[in-house]
A and B are shown apart, each in its own frame.
Chain A
């Protein structure tokens, strides 16, 4: 080697990117290049002439001398001519990974060794990060609630996570390495290979990147619905597919249940609608009947009364007393029947139409009722006293009917033995929280009734008295009962024979808005 060659070699070593160390057979450092100074933090002067183990952490530090000796004695190589990853120590004591390749140089008996050192901290870190993230990914995949299956382009399963084991009943090792179609029932089972091939050939997608509901097969052969979304991963020419699987048995069952419920609801709705139509029809038939009754049924009665009246006024003088009485009885009967029809009509109409709810001042209403019946009040010589009465929500016309009937009753069933006194009083109470009501009591000192009949008197056509001396058709209280019930109120009666009667009407102060 010329000195020029030596000069050139030294320049190469000094400018090399990798660290270059030359040691002799004792391990003493002969050369320590610039790159080494940067790598280890030592100046060359601090290292040259000293044992190279100063650059090694344990266990290399303690073993190096022995290793070197053994190699020189036996030729057993651990690193020389091979190169491996080892650890190195900087001047500050910190340790870092290096890739070390060692070559041997022999000049006569003089053996020396050249170490080429590359700092692989960054590579190691990258490797660590990769392995960390792979680990993390595996952990994520394994703890995922959804099943995750990775297959390659042939359909061979590469990954089968824990959730899949639970879903399919296979341990991973029974599936990995086998074709994924084992997890599919027909028709998917038979079509999958073909499908995969077609996709790889043509790019035609049926599921990849889309996701859909399909059927899956467990180890025990049972089939269950899954939602499958498939993604594609491509690394170079290597294509693989990731399937995310969610068992939707519960959702399907819920959907089915919902569907059944919906159908049931629809059926009930139809029934309800039909019934409501039936009701509407029967109501309108009833209205028609009421209208027919009001005109057609009353027509013949009117004839009897009119012509009976003619008979009496024009031919009365040709009839004897009996004959005149017969005609009077006929006319009287027809008159009563007409009133009865009116009563039935009023009773049935009361339940047919919607209430017309408004503010009703019961004091005004009572005054109006008294005015309507002033002739009868005068005739009966009744003394009427009224307390302060509340304002309620209700159907004014219908409530008028109620109180008119009650006053009319008190007037009719008066006692011949004492002057009639009628009083109306009101009291407020809250029967149920949120429902304020008033109790209107109409009390008289008339002939009263047996308490045993207190409920029966509200039945249609129920009369406790004979017709003698009292007109009416026995529908007044039934009508009252019906109207008060329509207002979600109650009506009750209390009486004693010859001891007067009290009617108590309980009405809520507010009517709930009802939608027709």
Chain B
């Protein structure tokens, strides 16, 4: 029986945000909600948790609560393993490197931008200030990564 687009939509791919700042995560969640983006939204607080999530280790062993994400939003400055190191590890890992990874950080330092691309980031976005900017960013990110580009998964 054919699936109805209305009643039985394709399972949406998850968005995984790695950020230690609860407020930023709150703002991001609000912005994605306001933009009516229905992708499941998951969050980890540092590089170590991010890799555990992706490798389904420890508390992230259950695929239901730790699905393979369709997009990673990665903060650079985090305690423990920071975003730079996590970025390198993900892009060095053949099983993870095709997951689109967007650096999503407060830094606008050109050195950070260049370094992130060198490590294999797919995009670099400086967090917009204010709700309007955040909502606009959420819409663009969703449209681009889940609508426009050809994906490898």
Q: Is the CB of B106 within 8 A of A298?
A: yes
B107 within 8 A of A: yes
Which of A43-51, A160-168, A300-308 lies at the interface? Answer: A300-308
CB-contact partner of B107 in A294, A306, A309, A313, under 8 A: A294
Q: Is A309 a contact partner of B129 (Cβ separation < 8 A)?
A: yes
B107 touching A305, Cβ below 8 Å:
no
- Known pairs A295-B77, A299-B21, A303-B23; A310 contacts B131 (CB<8 A): yes
Q: How far is the CA of A105 from the CA of B5 in the complex (A)?
A: 169
Contact of A305 with B106 at beta-carbon distance under 8 Å, contacts A295-B77, A299-B21 already known: no
Q: What are the residues of chain A within 8 A of B129 when measuring CB–CB?
A: 302, 305-306, 309
Query: In which size bucket is the chain B interface?
Result: 10 to 19
Q: B109 interface residue, CB < 8 Å from A? A: yes
CA distance A309 to B109 in the complex (A): 24
Tell me the complex Cα distance, A497–B50, Å.
60
Q: How near does chain A come to B119, taking the closest CB pair, in angstroms?
A: 18
CA distance A507 to B77 in the complex (A): 39
- Residues on A with beta carbons closer than 8 Å to the beta carbon of B27: 306, 310
Is B130 an interface residue when CB atoms closer than 8 A count as contact? yes
**Taking CB as reference atom, which chain B residue is nearest A338?**
B129
Q: Which of B23, B106, B127, B131 contacts A313 (CB 8 A)?
A: B131
Whether B132 is near chain A, meaning CB under 8 Å from some CB there, is: yes
Point out the residue from B77, B109, B130 that lies within 8 Å of A305, measured CB to CB. Answer: B130
Residues of chain B within 8 A (CB-CB) of A299 are: 21, 106
Cα(A310)–Cα(B27), bound, Å: 9
Q: How far is the CB of A343 from chain B (nearest CB, A)?
A: 14
Distance of A303 Cα from B131 Cα, bound (Å): 11
Whether B106 pairs with A295 at a CB distance below 8 angstroms is: yes
Q: Residues of A contacting B77 with CB < 8 Å? A: 295
Q: Which residues of B contact A313 (CB under 8 A)?
A: 130-132
The answer to whether A309 and B130 have CB atoms under 8 Å apart is yes
For the complex, what is the distance from the CA of A302 to the CA of B24, rounded to whole Å? 10
Interface centre among B23, B107, B127, B130 (most CB of A within 10 A): B130
Q: Contact flags (1/0) for A310-327 with B, using CB distance below 8 Å? A: 100110000000000000
Chain B residues with CB below 8 A from A306, complex form: 23, 27, 129-131, 134
Give Cα A306 to B130, complex, Å: 4
| Contact between A295 and B131, CB atoms less than 8 A apart | no
| Alpha-carbon separation in the docked complex, A313 to B132 (Å) | 9
Contact with A along B123-153 (1 / 0, CB 8 A): 0000101111010000000000000000000
- Smallest beta-carbon distance B17→chain A, Å: 16
**Least distance between B136 CB and chain A CB atoms (Å):** 13
Between A and B, 25 residue pairs with Cβ closer than 8 Å are A294-B107, A294-B109, A295-B77, A295-B106, A295-B107, A298-B106, A299-B21, A302-B106, A302-B127, A302-B129, A306-B23, A306-B27, A306-B129, A306-B130, A306-B131, A306-B134, A307-B23, A309-B129, A309-B130, A309-B131, A309-B132, A313-B130, A313-B131, A313-B132, A314-B131
Nearest 7 Cβ contacts at the A-B interface: A309-B130, A305-B129, A313-B131, A295-B77, A310-B131, A309-B131, A306-B129
Known: A302-B127, A306-B131. 16 other contacts (CB 8 A): A294-B107, A294-B109, A295-B106, A295-B107, A298-B106, A299-B21, A302-B129, A303-B23, A306-B27, A306-B129, A306-B130, A307-B23, A309-B129, A309-B132, A313-B131, A313-B132
